[in-house]
């Protein structure tokens, strides 16, 4: 895909207008307060940004991952916390219900998630480890017609906000058998930890969760028994492309800020952009934004064509997020002392960048996926596959 369609350009313009007019002016203050932005989540619902990749019958816009990624980039360009809240509301919150839910489950849960009235969490990671997704300790035992869940999840987004409807989790239902469940927010025994005190992404809802004898009817099982891990991993494939788009938003935000600062800020009676060291930093940011944007768009386009995209998603996530960390460091340098203040956009980007290399699969996991895609005999647990 070399050019965006006119519909895609419209989506990007709408998201950019929302980000510029409604998000950017209050981003610093919201970051300082650290409050979960219920009003902006609802606004993203109203504007149709959350609904971009969902069918119209659930209130969505019937578009694809390309359009969602364009919107995430634009929101992330001015506010990474809101960008990840959009990404996780869609990719991790509502998408598992669309992809694996029964007709009744879709009807029950999707309209409120798509409209932004509610959000949902995605509970895969446990305190004992996120990379080793199969080594989970949360269990679901059969109990008559239903299930009883016991266990713990760690670092889960959108799971305890005032507008959370439920969290979808993985639980072991037998030896080497993982199944997904929908746990409504008001389920007895579903216990929320306090909000995690994060280095960046200061306005998101992120917590550890306990499940202490949570009883669920069988119609809260999401997908087939035993399909839970594979299903969640395919959700992460698309989620990684969206995280790559969020990272490009950060790079572009650094470029915007530095382009302006390089002209306005003066030293030795000259704009600092007249010094080659600063000008070349800005040039590198521009090169990085363009190449990384192409990488996520390629992966998203393959996804929307129904073609294999796992390797391209991992390549986009790896390269865009590592470039974003470098971009935040470089932009902070261009801003000098102001770059280390959360009052400046680049100061906030500096705090927000590092997690991009960790969430939805670390950089090491992306390299593993890429190596496997190349046919190399490498496995996450270090074992050698049989010939």
Ligand X SMILES: Cc1cc2nc3c(=O)[nH]c(=O)nc-3n(C[C@H](O)[C@H](O)[C@H](O)COP(=O)(O)OP(=O)(O)OC[C@H]3O[C@@H](n4cnc5c(N)ncnc54)[C@H](O)[C@@H]3O)c2cc1C
Single residue of 124, 214, 299, 346 touching ligand X by CB under 6 A? 124
Locate 57 and state its tokens.
């019958």
Whose Cβ is closer to ligand X: residue 157's or residue 339's? 157
Single residue of 34, 55, 184, 380 touching ligand X by CB under 6 A? 380
Whose Cβ is closer to ligand X: residue 8's or residue 206's? 206
Within 8 A by CB and 6+ apart from 46, the residues are 115, 116
Single residue of 355, 356, 369, 370 touching ligand X by CB under 6 A? 355
CB of 263 to ligand X, least distance (A): 35
Please give the distance of CA 143 from its chain centroid, rounded to a whole number.
Answer: 34
CB of 261 to ligand X, least distance (A): 28
End-to-end CA distance of the chain: 37
Q: Is 233 in the site for ligand X (CB under 6 A)?
A: no
Query: Is 360 a known active-site residue?
Result: yes
- Residue 143's DSSP bridge partners are 146
Single residue of 53, 101, 116, 123 touching ligand X by CB under 6 A? 123
CB of 201 to ligand X, least distance (A): 6
Binding residues for ligand X, how many (CB under 6 A)? Answer: 25
Single residue of 4, 192, 358, 371 touching ligand X by CB under 6 A? 358
Q: For ligand X, which residue has the nearest CB?
A: 130
Locate 142 and state its tokens.
């059969």
Whose Cβ is closer to ligand X: residue 60's or residue 93's? 93
DSSP assignment of 57-88 equals GGT-----HHHHHHHHHHHHHH-HHHHHHHHI
Single residue of 25, 129, 174, 226 touching ligand X by CB under 6 A? 129
Q: Which of residues 62-101 bind ligand X (CB under 6 A)?
A: 88, 92
Whose Cβ is closer to ligand X: residue 202's or residue 293's? 202
Q: Is 181 in the site for ligand X (CB under 6 A)?
A: no
Q: Is 223 in the site for ligand X (CB under 6 A)?
A: no
- CA–CA separation, 187 vs 192, rounded Å? 11
The residue annotated as part of the active site, out of 74, 343, 360, 364, is 360
Q: Which candidate, 67, 60, 124, places its Cα nearest to that of 94?
A: 60
Q: Is 353 in the site for ligand X (CB under 6 A)?
A: no
Beta strands in 75-205 (DSSP E): 119-123, 139-143, 146-157, 164-174, 177-184, 190-195
Note every long-range contact of 87-90, with CB atoms under 8 Å and residues 24 or more positions apart, other chains counting. 87/239, 87/242, 87/243, 87/245, 87/246, 88/119, 88/121, 88/122, 88/157, 88/158, 88/204, 89/41, 89/44, 89/50, 89/113, 89/116, 89/119, 89/120, 89/158, 90/50, 90/52, 90/53, 90/242
Single residue of 198, 286, 291, 371 touching ligand X by CB under 6 A? 198
Single residue of 37, 157, 339, 347 touching ligand X by CB under 6 A? 157
- CA–CA separation, 200 vs 147, rounded Å? 37
> How many CA atoms lie within 13 Å of 330's alpha carbon, on the beta-carbon side?
27
CB of 121 to ligand X, least distance (A): 6
Please list the active-site residues: 360
Binding footprint of ligand X on the chain (CB under 6 A): 88, 92, 122-125, 129-131, 155-157, 198, 201, 206, 355, 358-362, 364-365, 368, 380
């Amino acid at each position: 895909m070399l050019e965006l369609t006119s519909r895609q350009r419209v989506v990007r313009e709408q998201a950019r207008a929302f980000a510029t007019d409604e998000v950017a002016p209050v981003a610093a203050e919201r970051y300082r307060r650290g409050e979960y932005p219920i009003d902006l989540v609802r606004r993203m619902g109203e504007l149709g940004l959350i609904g971009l990749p969902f069918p119209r019958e659930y209130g969505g816009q019937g578009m694809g991952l390309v359009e969602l990624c364009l919107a995430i980039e634009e929101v992330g360009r001015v506010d990474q916390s809101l960008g990840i809240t959009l990404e996780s509301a869609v990719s991790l919150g509502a998408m598992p219900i669309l992809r694996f839910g029964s007709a009744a489950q879709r009807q029950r849960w999707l309209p409120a998630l798509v409209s932004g009235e509610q959000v949902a969490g995605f509970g895969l990671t446990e305190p004992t480890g996120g990379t080793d997704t199969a080594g989970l300790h949360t269990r679901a035992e059969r109990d008559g017609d239903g299930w009883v869940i016991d266990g713990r999840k760690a670092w889960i987004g959108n799971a305890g906000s005032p507008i959370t409807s439920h969290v979808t989790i993985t639980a072991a239902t037998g030896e080497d058998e993982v199944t997904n469940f929908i746990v409504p927010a008001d389920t007895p025994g579903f216990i929320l930890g306090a909000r995690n005190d994060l280095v960046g992404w200061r306005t998101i809802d992120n917590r550890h969760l306990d499940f202490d004898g949570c009883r669920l009817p069988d119609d809260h099982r999401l997908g087939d028994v035993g399909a839970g891990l594979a299903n969640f991993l395919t959700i992460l494939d698309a989620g990684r492309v969206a995280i790559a788009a969020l990272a490009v938003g950060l790079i572009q935000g650094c470029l915007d800020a530095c382009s302006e600062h390089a002209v306005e800020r003066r030293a030795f009676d000259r704009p600092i952009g007249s010094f080659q060291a600063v000008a070349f930093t800005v040039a590198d940011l521009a090169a990085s934004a363009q190449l990384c944007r192409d990488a996520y768009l390629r992966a998203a386009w393959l996804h929307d064509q129904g073609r294999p995209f796992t390797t391209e998603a991992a390549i986009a996530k790896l390269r865009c997020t590592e470039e974003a960390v470098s971009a935040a460091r470089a932009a902070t340098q261009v801003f000098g002392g102001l770059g280390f203040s959360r009052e400046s956009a680049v100061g906030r980007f500096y705090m927000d960048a590092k997690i991009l290399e960790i969430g939805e699969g670390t950089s090491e996991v992306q390299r593993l996926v890429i190596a496997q895609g190349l046919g190399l005999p490498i496995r996450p647990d270090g074992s050698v596959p049989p010939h």
